[in-house]
């Protein structure tokens, strides 16, 4: 009877205390996972907000870019350093360069699979392809060709030079040159859309200004059919 009275006397304290302890033990098991989800969601929202701000900044920068000027500058730059080998226009350009110098372009030979020279590798960071040309003319005409080649807008490097003279042919000389023509393939990926726009510096501006002053000896050559589809119409 005494034990029952003692339990009844302390039950008013033990039961609430046990309940509080149980709640305290269960609360972390329920609340902590939910809190982790809330924190992860908050971090995700923060990252998306940061990404949105970067896109807004890039959009404002793009709106300030003069599209017409940028397109013109790109056309000038790709004349000097095309995004492909562009062999047909290079052949036409070299032939015109020779004609303007008074020389005769006797032959052009593409060198397939040859590794660019060390000087070409040091001078250019893109790709190069090698070829040989044979010219015929007077020493004065050769000097004119070399001078014009230095001012040609399409960039190419002279790796080897060999000249032979012929007394029986009005003192004309035959010259064989090994050349490397660099080109820069288009990038396969433009990177993340949130990356800031690349900025130009005074060196870029100076190089572009020099390119614009050079002579465009290469021209676009159509690789498709030209003229009327039906010549009898």
Instruction: With CA atoms as reference, report the closest residue to 108 among 123, 128, 124, 93.
Output: 93
In this prediction, residue 13 has a pLDDT band, given cuts at 50, 70 and 90, of low
Gyration radius (Cα) of the chain, Å: 37
Mean pLDDT of the chain: 75
Q: Name the residue with higher pLDDT: 90 or 39.
A: 90
Give the model confidence (pLDDT) of 51-81 as tens digits.
Answer: 888 888 888 888 887 888 888 888 888 888 8
Instruction: With CA atoms as reference, report the closest residue to 102 among 156, 166, 148.
Output: 148
> 155 with 184: CB under 8 angstroms?
no
In this prediction, residue 163 has a pLDDT band, given cuts at 50, 70 and 90, of confident
Query: Which of 154-163, 173-182, 203-212 is the least confident region?
Result: 154-163
With pLDDT > 70 as the criterion, what percentage of the chain qualifies?
69
Residue 116 has pLDDT above 50, yes or no: no
Q: Greatest CA span in the chain, whole angstroms?
A: 144
What integer is the mean pLDDT of 31-38? 70
Q: Name the residue with higher pLDDT: 32 or 194.
A: 194
Report pLDDT for 226: 47
Total-model pTM: 0.61
CA 36 to chain centre: 43
Q: Name the residue with higher pLDDT: 111 or 228.
A: 111
Residue 130 has pLDDT above 80, yes or no: yes
Report pLDDT for 166: 61
Report pLDDT for 85: 82
With pLDDT > 90 as the criterion, what percentage of the chain qualifies?
1
Only one residue has tokens 């004119």, namely 144
């Amino acid at each position: 009877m005494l034990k029952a009275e003692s339990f009844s006397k302390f039950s008013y304290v033990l039961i609430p205390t046990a309940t509080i302890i149980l709640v305290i033990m269960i609360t972390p098991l329920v609340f902590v996972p939910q809190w982790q989800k809330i924190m992860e969601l908050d971090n995700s929202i923060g990252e998306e907000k940061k990404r949105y701000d970067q896109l807004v900044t890039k959009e404002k920068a793009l709106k300030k870019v003069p599209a017409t000027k940028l397109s013109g500058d790109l056309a000038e730059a790709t004349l000097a350093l095309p995004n492909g080998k562009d062999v047909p226009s290079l052949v036409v350009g070299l032939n015109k360069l020779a004609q303007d110098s008074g020389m005769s372009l006797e032959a052009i030979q593409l060198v397939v699979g040859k590794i660019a020279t060390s000087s070409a590798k040091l001078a250019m960071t893109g790709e190069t392809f090698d070829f040989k040309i044979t010219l015929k003319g007077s020493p004065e005409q050769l000097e004119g060709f070399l001078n014009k080649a230095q001012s040609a807008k399409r960039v190419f490097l002279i790796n080897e030079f060999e000249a032979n003279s012929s007394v029986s042919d009005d003192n004309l000389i035959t010259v064989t040159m090994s050349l490397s023509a660099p080109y820069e393939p288009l990038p396969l990926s433009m990177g993340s859309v949130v990356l800031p726009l690349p900025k130009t510096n005074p060196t870029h501006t100076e190089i572009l200004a020099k390119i614009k002053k050079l002579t465009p000896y290469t021209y676009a050559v159509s690789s498709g059919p030209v003229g009327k589809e039906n010549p009898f119409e």
